[in-house]
Structure 1
Amino acid sequence: MSFSGHTQKSSKRPFPVEHIMPPQVLRNNYLHVLEEKQKLQLKKFLLDRMFLVAKTKENIEKKDVTDYYEHLFQTISKQYVSEAVTGLLLIYRTFILHILESSSSTLYSILLDYINHKKKRGEYFIKGMKIVVVSHNIPTRIFMQWHVIVIKVPVMYLDDVTQSQSLREIVTEFLTQTHKLALYFFKTLKVGAKGPSENLYQPAPELLLPEQIIKYLYKSEEFLEPEIFINMYNRPIHITFDTEVVWPAPSRF
């Protein structure tokens, strides 16, 4: 007696597992979205913007400062593949305001260069520096190139407003005026232009920050020196959640 029906039933093979699995959907993480956004904006890296105030030796020469920073920018660009530096350097009598836009690695290298000069205790035109603001992943630049301007302001213009305003009000005015000045540059200067005349007080006096504000921000303890900022930047982050804390502490037998 033959059981042909049973033989045919047992000859059937199960379907492969991959045939019954649902199709996989590709999921992008947030980093991938940011990278694609940078490609569309023709940027190689995420852009950061940094506002620095520094004390300098009195009446420094513009050419010396310009040559130094241009050489520094070129050296960094040869060492790392990064974004070009744009921004504005305003040179007052004994202080400077420096706005820098580039990738984080470039700004990091600029701060390290200052720290190295400070450790050597050699001849250097910057006597001290404070970081006012660092903005990460800015959507676009507010400066098309890097400009250096020596500020020559009449004495009557130097009204000290730091005695009647709080730090919050001064920082707000500082950021507002610098962005207005950047907008003025954007509207009046073409790409490749050398910049406005040496005496910026004549075409746009209402946009200039008094040197007392730069001095006030430099002396404020709320803002970090580059050494402290770099140490915080390099410090690993260890976060302990409440769920990880057990008391009494577990012990092995």
Structure 2
Amino acid sequence: MPFTHKWKAKKRAFPLEPLLLPQVPRGNYLHFKEEKQRLHLNKFLLHRMFLVAKIEGNVEKKDISEYYEQLFQSILKHHLEESVTGLLLIYPTSILHILESSNGTLFQILLDYLGHENDEKEFFIQEMKIIVISHNIPTRLFMQWHVSAIKVPVMYLDDVTQSQSLKEVITDFISQIHKLSLYLFKTIKVGTKGPGDNLHNVVPDLLLPEQIIKYLCKSEEFMDPATFINMYNRPIHITLDSEVVWPAPSRF
């Protein structure tokens, strides 16, 4: 009995917490499936790019839409599940293009344009400019890629590009496009053909005047695809202070 009493006293004298090993987190099959589904839905970061460009006056809507559709299909073979959504507005002599996809897909779209621009003297898309690129956007505004031709030019009383600064013009540009995108997001159902060619009758107040698109195409403040791609491919070199000091400091 005394021996048993001493053993119990020693057991109470030492706390058990320091002796416990850290617990290894263990998952289950449900957590594994949920993580796999999460990775499947987030295989790439989503970006949105706004483009403007001039087109030849006699080019058909079908030619432009078929060019982009074939390009998207070609890119999709190498960038699986990175589909392109957005909106292409075709004005009489210019286009406004919104594209949503991965960074690699958007990069390939710009490269294809440059290839045609360099190889074809009269490619029907000209003077393209990148207005805005939004990185890592949380969700898409468009569930599909839609094409709409603005057949009847909208009449405006004054040319805002003559009375407003570039900052004001681009602010109105982004605001107006955002309103139009939200309208289409709420009204167009998945699987439908899209807004059609009567936007100028349905929502004329949400359409940008073509003169603004032409103004942005001429503006030197925005990058053309060649400048953007050159900057994208240019390596970043950081020169440390120790590299320009002589004698070089010794490190221990």
TM-score (norm 2): 0.80
1:24 & 1:116 partners in 2: Cα distance? 58
CA gap of 1:108–1:25, structure 2 versus 1, over 3 A, is farther
| C-alpha separation in 2, matches of 1:43 and 1:251 | 46
| Structure 2 counterpart of 1:214 | 213
The AA in structure 2 aligned to 1:184 is Y
Q: 1:158, CA displacement in angstroms?
A: 6.5
Residues 48-87 of structure 1 deviation map (CA, whole Å, 9 limit, x = unaligned): 1100011111142111111111110000001222511000
Aligned to 2:245: 247
Correspondences of 1:1-253 after superposition (within 5 Å): 39=38, 42-154=41-153, 156-157=155-156, 159-242=158-241, 244-250=242-248
**Secondary structure of 1:162 counterpart:** helix
Q: Distance in 2 between matches of 1:187 and 1:179?
A: 12
* Rounded Cα–Cα distance in structure 1 between residues aligned with 2:218 and 2:74: 31
Q: Distance in 1 between matches of 2:191 and 2:217?
A: 32
Alpha-carbon contact 2:177-2:206 (below 8 Å) kept: yes
Where structure 1 has 5 or more consecutive residues not aligned to the other structure, the ranges are 1-18, 27-35
Match of 1:7 in 2: none
Distance 2:248 2:195 in 1: 69
Distance in 1 separating the partners of 2:104 and 2:39: 21
Cα offset, 1:167, TM superposition? 0.7
DSSP 3-state at the match of 1:157:
coil
Q: Which runs of 5+ in 2 are unaligned?
A: 1-17, 26-34
C-alpha displacement at 1:127, in angstroms? 1.8
Q: How many residues align?
A: 223
CA gap of 1:234–1:191, structure 2 versus 1, over 3 A, is: same
Structure 2 counterpart SS, 1:46? coil
Q: Is the 8 A contact 2:147 2:196 kept in 1?
A: no
1:39 to 1:209, Cα distance in 2 relative to 1, 3 A: same
The aligned amino acid for 2:185 is F
The answer to whether the Cα contact below 8 Å between 2:150 and 2:198 also exists between their aligned partners in 1 is yes
What are the Cα deviations for residues 95-134 of structure 1, in whole angstroms up to 9, with x where unaligned? 1111100000000000000011111125421122111111
CA distance in 2: counterparts of 1:178 and 1:74, whole angstroms: 26
Is the CA contact (8 Å cut-off) linking 1:51 and 1:133 kept in structure 2?
yes
Give 1:23 deviation, angstroms.
Answer: 5.2
Cα distance, 1:40–1:226 mapped onto 2, change above 3 Å: same
Query: Partner amino acid for 2:184?
Result: F
SS in 2 for 1:238: coil
Residues in 2 aligned to 1:183 and 1:110: alpha-carbon distance in whole angstroms: 25
- Equivalent residue number for residue 8 of structure 1: none
> Which 10-residue stretch deviates more, 175-184 or 232-241?
232-241
Q: Is the 8 A contact 1:159 1:210 kept in 2?
A: no
Which AA in structure 1 matches 2:159?
D
Q: Kindly report the root-mean-square deviation, in angstroms, between the aligned alpha carbons of the 2 structures.
A: 2.6
Identity score, percent: 66
- How far the C-alpha of 1:197 sits from its partner, in A, is 3.0
